[in-house]
Structure 1
């Protein structure tokens, strides 16, 4: 039976695990658990191809327990029952449950007592943030460990091992690979070892021998490597991490970082998220400091949506640099949030009678609209009268910032009106 190179090269012990030394290195938590023979259920979460299954395999290889693999999305409760029966017979089974965030209530209810009595040691694997996607009942019975994308040097070392290993890898084949090609493969897969090994095997198996040697060049590797874009589930954890970093980079006025995160979303083809986030940023982070920048962002978004990729990247890049280097102010929406907080706290109060609707018969008898002064009847469009409910008199929600000329002018106007009101 054919097994892919990535499968064959899975670690048999913790010493063979590539990367993730914060978990499996000397003195680290998973290493200590294995050494002490005190395994407990855990959830490993992180990007694809970073070693979640490898760690589970290595844990099983470092113990005498049986090791079984299921998928929470596709395998049934009956499959779990088979594992549970085996655990009763053998004592303990290590169960790698892939896509553990997809575990439904029926399977979860069946699994919980077996986790509690220790018959099944669960190693859940997921690309999603378990604190968001996994039921608290499962979380409370597991330890949660995050795995990280592998470094370029980690992948380079693993590729070298695969090329040299004559038992499980490609060591029996007469393969030579250019240094630049190996470096490119380690770099372009962006921390995904599975993709790197799959590309290496495809290159080796699809390249004809010349004089008894398979020579892998940069051109061959480039053709074989699966394009590892920063694509992600739009409801997933990675998606929101990129969006968060994107907005915070613009808010922090760092155009280089903002363009980097923009590039990730462009590479993923996520035009909708980019456009929505830019519109939010234009008003949330720039706001009254530079309203013209927000207006330009709206135009850039309209142009991007009309153009589509790849040309959409041009107005998007323009908007990102514009917003990054613009003065920032969140004074308007934070003022609204303060007003909302008062309303939620029961401080709304009654609308003053002179502001209430008077466009019906009998309104005057109820004092609706009586005493209202029409500001346009006054020389500069302002007259001193009360607008807030009595319970909120002298409340000031809007606190202007002097980070842009436009809001500086608003601040000056506000000070003039407040001074006249006091007089």
Structure 2
């Protein structure tokens, strides 16, 4: 049986994993568990193709434990009993249980005592939020780790590894992968490394060598193999960034039709990550305090999109885009923090007033730290006039309210009231 490239390139040890540095990087929790040989059952959740199975396989490889894979939806108690028997003989088995959110009560009741004994180290994999979709009895016996979408640098690293690996990869083929073809590979898959490697394998093994005996993987070859079109790039290769720029500017300019068009271009190229990132930036940069609830709704929509993946992700994202486009706009919060940072970078801002300094240590009182601080909740309306900025910039103002939304109009009234009280 011919195994897919993605399967053959699966990490053998924890050092082979690409991405997920927050879990397997130096000094991080899963690496520490492996190094200390103190593995415990865990649940890994995140979008498809970003390394859940790879981490489980690498953990087993790094610890030399037997490694078995089952699916909670399709494998029954019979398969679980086989793994349990193996665990009795070998001492410990690492069991990757895919789609663990679909584990029924019968299978769960069979597994729980094995987890308690430690004979099975369970690594559950799911694309669903485990805090919502996994039984509390399983959750309480596992550690939960969220996997992040792979970054472009991680995806490219995996591609180069596959191209050079002569034992498991494509290193024995005389391949040349064009730069623009590589870009399409890593931006069209929504961070799904499995899809990237399998698309690369199809392209490599279905393309005939040229007269120079080189298998030339051009943009057109990759497009054909993964059935995705590249975003049209200009001669300088800036096409992708032009679309992203037009996308944000259309939202800022309240043109829902244009914003939907540019998002469609990005999604057709499979670039869900750019849409999610840019949409989140748009919400807080361009709508901001004019409509904070729209910002919150955008975060919910982008989380739903990442959980769903394409093509369904387009639905919550289109809701968010129309919401943002037709919302009142304000960039006052961004301008306020940028002004504050500018002062910090360019001015002599002085020291923090003594009455605001930490007083929770012996000797603070002798230094006069915190002694004259007035606790606002002890005063009418939970407010008292006192200085908070350093002396050298005590009259500085950074926030300039806008009145394009009802929420910020209300903030302006309170802001003006406080400023007037300071003056009086």
Instruction: Give the TM-score category using the shorter length.
Output: 0.5 to 0.7
CA contact (8 A) 1:77 1:107 kept: yes
1:252 aligns with 2:321: no
Match of 1:196 in 2: 196
Cα distance between partner residues in 2 of 1:267 and 1:325: 29
Match of 1:221 in 2: 222
Superposed CA deviations along residues 63-111 of structure 1, whole A, max 9, x for unmatched, are: 1211100000110011111111111111111000000111011100110
> In structure 2, do the counterparts of structure 1 residues 95 and 207 end up closer, same or farther at CA, with 3 Å as the change threshold?
same
Match of 1:31 in 2: 31
Deviation at 1:253, TM superposition (A): 6.4
Q: Could you list the runs of 4 or more consecutive aligned residues of structure 1 that deviate by over 4 angstroms after TM superposition?
A: 226-231, 244-251, 253-262, 264-267, 269-275, 402-408
RMSD: 3.8
> In structure 2, do the counterparts of structure 1 residues 274 and 173 end up closer, same or farther at CA, with 3 Å as the change threshold?
closer
SS class of match (1:144): strand
CA contact (8 A) 2:290 2:403 kept: no
Deviation at 1:403, TM superposition (A): 5.2
Match of 2:63 in 1: 63
Cα distance between partner residues in 1 of 2:132 and 2:61: 31
Superposed CA deviations along residues 1-20 of structure 1, whole A, max 9, x for unmatched, are: 11000000000001100111
Superposed CA deviations along residues 173-215 of structure 1, whole A, max 9, x for unmatched, are: 1111112211221222232111110110111111111122210
- Mapping of residues 289-304 of structure 1, within 5 Å: none
CA contact (8 A) 2:290 2:404 kept: no
Match of 1:357 in 2: none
SS class of match (2:223): helix
CA contact (8 A) 2:8 2:169 kept: yes
1:134 aligns with 2:138: no
> In structure 2, do the counterparts of structure 1 residues 9 and 92 end up closer, same or farther at CA, with 3 Å as the change threshold?
same
1:268 aligns with 2:311: yes
> In structure 2, do the counterparts of structure 1 residues 34 and 261 end up closer, same or farther at CA, with 3 Å as the change threshold?
closer
- Mapping of residues 6-25 of structure 1, within 5 Å: 6-25=6-25
SS class of match (1:220): helix
> In structure 2, do the counterparts of structure 1 residues 115 and 406 end up closer, same or farther at CA, with 3 Å as the change threshold?
closer
Match of 2:183 in 1: 183
SS class of match (1:163): helix
Cα distance between partner residues in 2 of 1:179 and 1:67: 37
> In structure 2, do the counterparts of structure 1 residues 13 and 273 end up closer, same or farther at CA, with 3 Å as the change threshold?
closer
For structure 1, the residue ranges without an aligned partner over 5 or more in a row are 232-237, 279-315, 328-401, 409-423
CA contact (8 A) 1:246 1:261 kept: no
SS class of match (1:323): coil
Deviation at 1:22, TM superposition (A): 1.1
Greater CA radius of gyration, 1 or 2?
1
CA contact (8 A) 2:48 2:127 kept: yes
